[in-house]
Amino acid sequence: MAENDSFDPLVLPRLTAEDLVLRGFQDDDLDLIHEVSTDPLIPLITTVPADFSEQAGLAFIQRQRDRLTSREGYAFVIANASDDHPLGAIGVWIRDIARGRASVGYWLRSSARGRGAMTVALLAASEWAFETLGIVRLELYVEEWNGASWRTAEKAGFIREGLLRNWERIGGEWKAMYVYSKILAVGLGPI
Ligand SMILES: CC(C)(COP(=O)(O)OP(=O)(O)OC[C@H]1O[C@@H](n2cnc3c(N)ncnc32)[C@H](O)[C@@H]1OP(=O)(O)O)[C@@H](O)C(=O)NCCC(=O)NCCS
């Protein structure tokens, strides 16, 4: 039986891409969570605690691991392959897997930005998702102002499909989001 047809916990793979590794969350990633808890955006679009404490940070890490048992999806840490230093996170969420769809979300700590690391991680996660999850569509959502994110999506081969008005409540306000996707095309593979 395929993994996605069962009620067993999902199994997070270890992926490598260029100088990066995508792996599971570990308790010693706490420093990463502490740093991004002060980011102006990340606590608003994730459950990273804005009010950081060791307990809240460890609870966040445990929640990411629990997404395997709840079968919500795969929460990867993006780390340097050389020393395992954590740079950020990327999640592949499979709530709509029965309809052939998954979605992806991502963030980096500020010191890891500006060198295209997320393009590499997004390409690796998308390739793995199409190869192993049996999906035909992978989507992501980006606010209009977030050029670094939508440019990352485009560099990783995602296509902008439109603007979804009042799509998500972020920081107490309803925000429009661009929807991007990559699809599996018969005979062509992911496009
Ligand atoms: C989005 C994010 C992951 C991108 O990180 P990154 O891999 O370091 O991205 P880079 O800074 O290398 O930029 C990627 C591309 O976007 C371009 N870019 C950066 N800022 C941009 C802007 N304001 N408008 C348009 N393009 C922009 C870069 O020039 C680069 O393209 P290029 O290689 O063709 O020059 C990172 O900025 C982040 O974690 N932000 C906070 C969390 C977040 O926004 N998550 C996504 C929510 S949808």
Q: Read off the pLDDT of residues 55-91 as tens digits, 9 standing for 90 and up.
A: 999 999 999 999 999 999 999 999 999 999 999 999 9
Residue 92 has pLDDT above 50, yes or no: yes
Radius of gyration of the chain from its Cα atoms, rounded to whole angstroms: 16
pLDDT of residue 5: 56
Q: Would residue 145 count as lying in a domain?
A: no
Q: Would residue 9 count as lying in a domain?
A: yes
Alpha helices in the chain (DSSP H): 30-36, 42-45, 54-69, 117-132, 147-155
Residue 16 has pLDDT above 70, yes or no: yes
Residues with CB under 6 A from ligand 1: 41-42, 45, 106-108, 113-119, 142, 146-149, 151-152
Angle between helices 147-155 and 117-132 (to 10 degrees): 50
Q: How many domains does the chain have?
A: 1
Residue 6 has pLDDT above 80, yes or no: no
Give the C-alpha separation, 79 to 145, whole Å: 27
Partners of 1 in beta bridges: none
Q: Would residue 53 count as lying in a domain?
A: yes
- The band of 191, judged by pLDDT with boundaries at 50, 70 and 90, is confident
Give the residue among 104, 178, 172 at the shortest CA–CA distance from 135.
104
Return the minimum-mean-pLDDT range out of 2-11, 121-130, 169-178.
Answer: 2-11
Q: How many helices (H) and strands (E) would you count in the chain?
A: 5, 9
**Six-digit token string for 124:** 């690796």
Tell me how far the alpha carbon of residue 88 lies from the centroid of ligand 1, in angstroms.
13
Coil vs helix vs strand at 18 = coil
Residue 116 has pLDDT above 60, yes or no: yes
Coil vs helix vs strand at 89 = strand
Give the C-alpha separation, 14 to 79, whole Å: 11
**Which residue segment(s) compose the domain that 24 sits in?**
3-138
Question: What CATH number should be reported for the domain holding residue 72?
Answer: 3.40.630.30
- The band of 1, judged by pLDDT with boundaries at 50, 70 and 90, is very low
Q: Would residue 143 count as lying in a domain?
A: no
Q: What is the pTM of this model?
A: 0.95
Of ligand 1's listed atoms, the one at least distance from the Cα of 121 is: 7
Tell me how far the alpha carbon of residue 131 lies from the centroid of ligand 1, in angstroms.
26
Q: Would residue 57 count as lying in a domain?
A: yes
Q: Would residue 191 count as lying in a domain?
A: no
Minimum CA distance residue for ligand 1 atom 28: 148
**Six-digit token string for 37:** 């808890």
- The band of 110, judged by pLDDT with boundaries at 50, 70 and 90, is very high
pLDDT of residue 97: 96
Partners of 76 in beta bridges: 90
Q: Would residue 179 count as lying in a domain?
A: no
Q: Would residue 123 count as lying in a domain?
A: yes
**Rounded mean pLDDT of the chain?**
95
